[in-house]
Amino acid sequence: MRRRNAGRSVAAFLCASLMAVPARAADQPAAEPGQRVRIVAAAPGVFQGVATGTLLEIGSESLTVAQAEGAILRLPVASVKRLEVSQGGRRHTRRGLLLGAAAGLALVPFVLTDRHLRCGDVANPHECTQGERTGIAVFMVGAFAGGGAWWGHRKQTEQWREAPLDHLKVTVRPTRGGGRVALTLDF
């Protein structure tokens, strides 16, 4: 009986451990210099809108981003509404394959029921048999699926993950006789 309880305890521990892994993976680390970021900001007189580039620096009061055009954008941290970090590109091969196959399948009934479809040589054409029509339909679905997969593989989009700005705040305040640094962690 003890052996059975020990086995249940181990199984319960493993299940609890596996359930905790996604919770830890869901934690959103802050952005770091050198990462590709997308920022939504509203800094009147400086910048309003969406900017994409490489994060150069996160200071206590400002955020510096190098844009692709070569422009350096320095924004007040308080004006940043959203900060996202690039997770890299993602290709859409599977989606293209499925869309192409669906388009090919939509045309299959027309191929199978078309009595005017001709098969054979150019010099000696004849009306296609049901087996030949089925072969043409299978080839057509495969060709559409292959074309869709090729198109989807060529199309690449960038994936973004939101990075919170408010987890770590560093404030520097000058005081008489020196300065004061405060580090605030928010969970």
CATH code, 41:
2.30.30.100
Averaged pLDDT, 81-109: 91
Distance CA 108, CA 133 (A): 9
Q: Do 67 and 145 touch, CB atoms closer than 8 A?
A: no
Range of the domain at 150: 93-154
Q: Is the pLDDT of residue 167 over 80?
A: no
In this structure, is residue 1 part of a structural domain?
Answer: no
- Alpha carbon separation from 173 to 75, 115, 179, 184 (Å, rounded): 20, 85, 6, 14
Q: Answer yes or no: is pLDDT of 168 > 70.
A: no
pLDDT over 80 at 159, yes or no? yes
Residue ranges of alpha helices (H) inside the chain are: 2-25, 93-113, 130-154
pLDDT value for 63: 81
3-class secondary structure, 143: helix
Is the domain of 85 the same as that of 174?
yes
Higher-pLDDT residue of 41 and 140 is 140
> Is 20 within the bounds of a domain?
no
The answer to whether residue 116 scores a pLDDT higher than 90 is: no
Looking at the fold, whether 86 and 162 belong to one and the same domain comes out as: yes
| Res 47 pLDDT > 80 | no
Query: What are the angstrom distances between the C-alpha of 86 and each of 44, 95, 122, 123, 173?
Result: 26, 21, 55, 59, 33
Q: How many domains does the chain have?
A: 2
Pair (101, 143) in one structural domain: yes
Predicted confidence band of residue 145 (pLDDT cuts 50, 70, 90): very high
Return phi, psi of residue 33, to 5°: -55, 140
Closest residue by Cα to residue 152 from 86, 103, 105: 103
Residue 126 pLDDT more than 60? Answer: yes
Q: Are residues 36 and 82 in the same domain?
A: yes
User: Does 131 fall in a domain?
Assistant: yes
Q: Do residue 82 and residue 49 come from a single domain?
A: yes
Same domain as 108, residue 150: yes
- Is 2 a member of any domain? no
Out of 29-38, 59-68, 139-148, give the one with best mean pLDDT: 139-148
97 in the same domain as 86: no
- pTM (2 decimals)? 0.52
